[in-house]
Structure 1
């Protein structure tokens, strides 16, 4: 075996051994946030700072696989603090994105239902708990939000976001 092939194999094994910790999704509490939020520009905006939030929106989610409200409107440049309340008995999440991104991620979640994902545009909320998410909508357009836990998205747990110039 060539050295580069052996090195690739060792790296793949190391990633495989570390992956279970990174992909656990189950019913454990994911509400904790990392100390530093990674700010990466997305088509639908960028992570916001809580102290810069100009508006607070409360979103409820439940086991009927619905968000209330399911339609939101913001102005470009607005930093929003979402207070997300899981009123159900199941783990739910809020993931903001574009329809194609959410479709692709939902398909991955169906294949790998235990997959964990932790980005500043998503929040995992255990049953009966609440969590915050702060996002700056610095790009105008039509965007979506959803719960991507396997089966929830397919059951219609989705919403729309409109960002005007």
Structure 2
């Protein structure tokens, strides 16, 4: 009887805790979740869709390539990256530095089903598209890649340049 008295409140606590968990914040609009403040990255910061001055379409295919594999923007420019998955499997685009992408790819190999939703990432199901809005407020040469296990290793990566 004492076991039941202990288990029932514990089960209620676990159930209540689970119902208050939330998905990671969305990078492409407010879907009713509390949005975290944008975090400055070496390659820029999350942008506001209304401030985007142009759209660059990045196509992803099952040959593990991006088209285009390079793009250039001006420092301070807010751009809508329209990410289109033209393949039959899940692909993603993650903006970053070579070091941050290498680190994230290693984490993805260890935890291939890991869910995440940072402002500098877009996960796109086959045949779908998504928008990633980014303010490129830091100059330099940076990278992007698909970090789905095996895709990065197969060469699914590109680069971008932010000029003054």
Q: Normalising to structure 2: TM-score of the pair?
A: 0.80
The 3-state SS of whatever aligns with 1:117 is coil
Alpha-carbon separation, structure 1, partners of 2:67 and 2:140: 21
Deviation of 1:118 after TM superposition, in Å, equals 0.6
Give aligned pairs, total.
142
Deviation of 1:31 after TM superposition, in Å, equals 9.2
Alignment of structure 1 residues 95-134 onto 2, 5 Å: 95-134=94-133
Deviation of 1:82 after TM superposition, in Å, equals 0.8
Gaps of 5+ in 2: 1-13
Alpha-carbon separation, structure 2, partners of 1:126 and 1:38: 27
Residue 51 to residue 68, structure 1, CA distance change in 2 (3 Å): same
Alpha-carbon separation, structure 2, partners of 1:38 and 1:153: 29
Give the match for residue 54 of structure 1. 53
After superposition, the C-alpha distances for 1:101-134 in whole angstroms (9 at most, x for unaligned) are 0000000101111111110110000000000010
Contact 2:28/2:131, CA 8 A, preserved across alignment: no
Q: Normalising to structure 1: TM-score of the pair?
A: 0.80
Alpha-carbon separation, structure 1, partners of 2:151 and 2:22: 21
After superposition, the C-alpha distances for 1:142-163 in whole angstroms (9 at most, x for unaligned) are 1000000000000000000100
Give the match for residue 141 of structure 2. 142
The 3-state SS of whatever aligns with 2:104 is helix
Give the RMSD, CA atoms, in angstroms: 2.2
Deviation of 1:34 after TM superposition, in Å, equals 4.4
Alpha-carbon separation, structure 2, partners of 1:39 and 1:31: 10
Residue 121 to residue 32, structure 1, CA distance change in 2 (3 Å): closer
Give the match for residue 84 of structure 1. 83
Gaps of 5+ in 1: 1-13, 24-29
Alpha-carbon separation, structure 1, partners of 2:153 and 2:56: 25
Q: Which structure has the larger Rg?
A: 2
